[in-house]
Structures are given as C-alpha cells and as structure tokens.
Structure 1
Amino acid sequence: MTSEATPDTHSRRTLLRRALIAAGGITAATVPAVFTAGAAEAAAVVDMELVLVAAMVDPPKSGTGTTLTAGPHVKVVEQALDAKNFLAAGSVDGHYGTTTVTAYANYQKSLGYTGLDANGIPGPTSLTKLGTDTGLYTVTRPINVGSSTDTYGGKRVNTRTKNMLAAADGKLSWSITLTQGSYTTGNPSSAGTHDGGGVVDIAVSSMTTTQRWQTVKALRDVGFAAWLRTPEQGFTYHIHANAVGDTDMAGVAQAQVHDYFYGKNGLASHAADNTPDAYKGAFTWWEKYKRG
C-alpha cells in the first residue's frame, strides 16, 4: 500500500517550518535544512522536457552523473517519489537511472497504468499528478505525444512523430517515405525498437549518398536521433530514427537515444556514429526545435 492517503514527509516538514517561523524570533535562515527543504521543493517548477531527456540518457550511464541541466528537475521528481514511498531517500540524486525508472514505473502502475503507459518514463498526466499530490512541484514544458494511431504515409505513428516527420520533410526537396512505423511488434530485425512510439525506418534506395545524409541531418535538426544503416552494419540501406523525448518509446529504443547523445551508433556494438561531421547537427528535441 502506498502513502496516497497520508500526508507526505516533505509536506509535514513544510508545515513545521512555517510554524517555527510564525512562533516569532526565528527566520527562514535559522531554520534547520531538514525543514527548509520542504518549502524549497514546494515552490519548484519541473521542466518535463529535461526530465524526459534525462530518463533516456541516464539509465545506461556508468555512475550517477546528471544530463544537461536536468539534475535539479529530476531530483525534485525523485523527492516526490520518495514522499510516496516508491523510491528510497538515498536514490534521490538527480540521476534518472534504472532505480528511478523502476520507481516511476511502480508509481504509474499504482495509478492503474499498464504496458507502455507504465514504462517508467513520465507522461504529462502522471507527472503533474505526482507534483500536485505531494505539493512539491508544478510542471512546465509538458510533452504530449497525442494519438498513438495517427499515420504518416500510411504507416502508424503518434501525432508528435507525425509532426516531426512533416517538419523534416519540409526541409527536403524529396519525400520521406517510411518502411516501418511505430507500435509494431514481431519484427526480429528491429530488436524491439519499434514496439513503442517515436521510432521509424525510412527508405533511401532512391536517394543519392548526399541526399541520404541530408535526410539524416533534417531528421536530427527537428529532434530525432537518426542514423543511416548500411550493409557494413548488417542492414540494407535505410535510415533509423528515434524521436527524442517520446513518452511511449520502448526501453531498447530509449537506450539508442543514450548512444546518440554520446556520439555512438545506437547498435549493439555501441561504435562511433558513422555520420559525417557536416551532417551530425546538435542534440535537440522537437519542442526545443519549435522554440527556435
């Protein structure tokens, strides 16, 4: 049984801190840190975009380092999971590792979610509810993937992926054609990467070599982790692309985002990215791209 029906520890700390100050002669600066923590957390604003990036980049890491500027945002979410008894206090460190993934998945299951909705990656509804129920934070920059039954060129994708593909398509004078969409299972050559959302394969047989790399660059510009797969890697030529920050993404595909962040190929070899420097681009995601 979780602590859903009982006041959480951080809320009690906040109330006690306020009572101490109200009693007179005590300032916020003199109240012990054990009490001030709750008040600071209650005023926190969690950037969902950064939390999702960390949730994909952090788990395969060696150690407990944080990603970009996500650490403080992840830490507040972890404090909320601690308050709900899903995460031990010793794991509240700003690193969205496997322990935090498991804790968040268990929290999602406690809300009745199953399958991809309980994959340990925060969705906008569960993340907002966790902050509201604990009183520790509000959410800014929410990510919503939209319908999971949308299509692009006849292949199933979610709405966010569809919009990203359309934006990348608009950068090119040729068309992006999918050979495999998202939410498809049973394809052994995909190793489960397409089981969830945000992942697509793109045909390149009609493109020149330069056009293939330009397509990779266009996809990366709008927020995909994208690579040209080659016969040397054991594939027929195609582009594999993962929408960074997709909340429906399967775990094995999330690990490919980690590889992409660190300049690797997203394959079992974890070799260096084979993309020429001129076509690599900067790490980004859809919502950040739209803000310019």
Structure 2
Amino acid sequence: MKLPSCAAALVAAALLASFTGASGMSAARADAGALPNVNMEATVKAAQIDPRRPDDTLTPGAKASVLLVEQALRDRSLLDAKWVDGYFGTTTVAAFAKFQQSLGFTGLDANGLPGKTSLTKLGAGRFGVTDLIGPGARVSADGFVIDTRTRDMLAEAKRLLGRGLVLLQGSYNPGGDPTSAGTHDGGGVVDISVEGMNPATRTAVVRVLRRVGFAAWTRSPDQGDWPWHIHAAAISDTDLSSQAQHQIGDYYLGLNGLSGRGPDDGPKVTIRTWEEYRRG
C-alpha cells in the first residue's frame, strides 16, 4: 500500500530519528569504551621495584599504565610534571599516598601502593582499571592474622610440598617484633618455622614459596637477632608495609631483602606474582 506523501514523510522522519539516536548511542558507547586502561598488576609491581632501582630503568610492561597514573596525579597538583615519566619511583609513591590520604584513607590504605579503590577513584573519567588485585579479608592461621590472598598462597605451597608449614609470625603486627624492622606491620608477610627441617628441606620450601609468588629467604642467627626461620613476603600484596615493599623490590633486583642489601642467597626461580603463577 502506498502511503500519502505526508505520512511517508513522517515515517521517514521517524526512521531517521531512530537511526540517528541509535547511532548517537553507539557513538556514546564507543566513546565510553575508548578510555585507556591501567593494568593494576603491572602498576603495583612497578611501585615495589622502581623505588629500589639504582637507575631509571622502567619495569617491563608497566610504562603505559604508570604514565596514566602519573598524569592523573599531576593534574591533581600532587606530582610535578617532570616526574611524569613512566617510572613509579619514590616521588610517585609519595604522590599516590597523598592522593589516598585526600580520600580519607590512613595507615595501610595510604601506603602509596595503588589499591583497587584508590586507583579506580583516581581514574574516574580518565582511565579504566584492569587486572585487579587485592589482599582479601583478614583471617586467622596458626593463631596469627594474615589475609586471604596470603592464606591461599601458603595453601598452594603446602600442596606442592606435600607437607604442612607452621607460622612463627603473621601479618598486621605493628611493633610486634622489633627485629622484623616493620616488615610484618602490614599484610602479606609471614615467618615460618624450620623445626625438623634439614638444609635441603629448607631450600626446597623457599623454592616453592618463591614459585607461588613470595619473596622468600631462609634466615639464620648469623644474619640478625633471630632464630633460624623462613621469611616470606607476598609480592604485590597491596597491604604491604613500606619496609616489606622495599624487600620485594630488592628481591626483584637480586638482593637478599636485608638492610645491608647483599646478594640474594636463595634458590633461583623465575620470579612471579601469585596471579602470574595461577595463570600458569
């Protein structure tokens, strides 16, 4: 049936409006999806390693994400433009901590490591956040407090070893052990008993802990005022104390995690985070 000319014009106008609206909505969706993304895993890794480097070498795979974070901090007048370089050094860590404090965060929530909430808020309207990580809730293990990410890492290490591991010290223990120099003040850090272990077994345990994402070492009385034990810090736990962050950065740089910054004395393994381990 042929429509009268006026009716045909109305139908055409309606169709055009419908098409334009749909196109506009599609364009809006495309614009919304066009925001760049910050890879949280890579950014957190850089925030641990870069401050400990003797030079300005960039953490592989992190530059683009770190630049986006630094640009956002610069635009909030928290970071001078000269530090927008893709290098998450001490100045960027301090700037990120100031941003976290501006959100009302304190303590471990303002430790300068990008957390899920703070990173997402910083990126609002500027960038999305992918590869999210977090420590999870605090739980009890062997009478100590750890977070669920650390608990899961220890469980996998036990499975691979085919034996149990007994904790001597947990996490979130500020001032609890002065010999620890603050490494246990935050999350992700534990000390493990070596009772009944011979040197080969101690090395095997450290190797497996490293394999699942810990920076781990056997500690002896010759190194400090402590008994024999295994010290393990979960790489990229966003609740890490600043001292533990430094230990992990040193681990990546081939050092032993002690204040003297000597060479790593543990078994050589490919360094991976827990998330990288789980991906195979």
Using structure 1 for the length normalisation, give the TM-score.
0.81
Shift of 1:71: 1.4
Q: Please tell me whether residue 63 in structure 1 is matched to residue 55 in structure 2.
A: yes
Shift of 1:65: 2.0
Q: CA RMSD in A?
A: 1.3
Choose 259-268 or 42-51, whichever is displaced more.
42-51
1:49 aligns with 41
Letter in 2 for 1:245: S
Q: Percent identity?
A: 50
Q: Please tell me whether residue 227 in structure 1 is matched to residue 206 in structure 2.
A: no
171, 177, 183: which one pairs with 2:166? 177
Residues 139-178 of structure 1 aligned to structure 2 (within 5 Å): 139-147=129-137, 149-178=138-167
1:6 aligns with none
Specify every segment of 5 or more residues in structure 2 that has no aligned partner in the other structure, as ranges: 1-30
1:129 aligns with 121
Shift of 1:154: 2.3
Provide, for residues 239-292 of structure 1, a one-character-per-residue CA deviation record: whole Å limited to 9, x for no partner. 0000000111011111101110011110011111112xxx32111101111111
Provide, for residues 200-239 of structure 1, a one-character-per-residue CA deviation record: whole Å limited to 9, x for no partner. 0000021121111111011101100000111331342110
**SS at structure 2 position matched to 1:59:** helix
The CA distance in 1 between the partners of 2:146 and 2:245, in whole Å, is 16
Residues 33-44 of structure 1 aligned to structure 2 (within 5 Å): 43-44=35-36
Q: Please tell me whether residue 103 in structure 1 is matched to residue 103 in structure 2.
A: no
Q: Please tell me whether residue 270 in structure 1 is matched to residue 258 in structure 2.
A: no
Letter in 1 for 2:233: N
232, 236, 242: which one pairs with 1:251? 242
Specify every segment of 5 or more residues in structure 1 that has no aligned partner in the other structure, as ranges: 1-38
Runs of 4+ in 1 over 6 A off after TM superposition: none
The CA distance in 2 between the partners of 1:120 and 1:89, in whole Å, is 18
Shift of 1:136: 2.3
Letter in 1 for 2:143: G
Provide, for residues 38-72 of structure 1, a one-character-per-residue CA deviation record: whole Å limited to 9, x for no partner. x9xx6321110011111011112223221121111
2:53–2:253 Cα contact (<8 Å) kept: no
Letter in 1 for 2:209: L
Letter in 2 for 1:67: T
**SS at structure 2 position matched to 1:171:** helix
The CA distance in 1 between the partners of 2:215 and 2:60, in whole Å, is 16
Provide, for residues 113-164 of structure 1, a one-character-per-residue CA deviation record: whole Å limited to 9, x for no partner. 01110111110011011111xx2211111111111x3122222101111111
**SS at structure 2 position matched to 1:233:** coil
Using structure 2 for the length normalisation, give the TM-score.
0.85
The aligned length equals 246
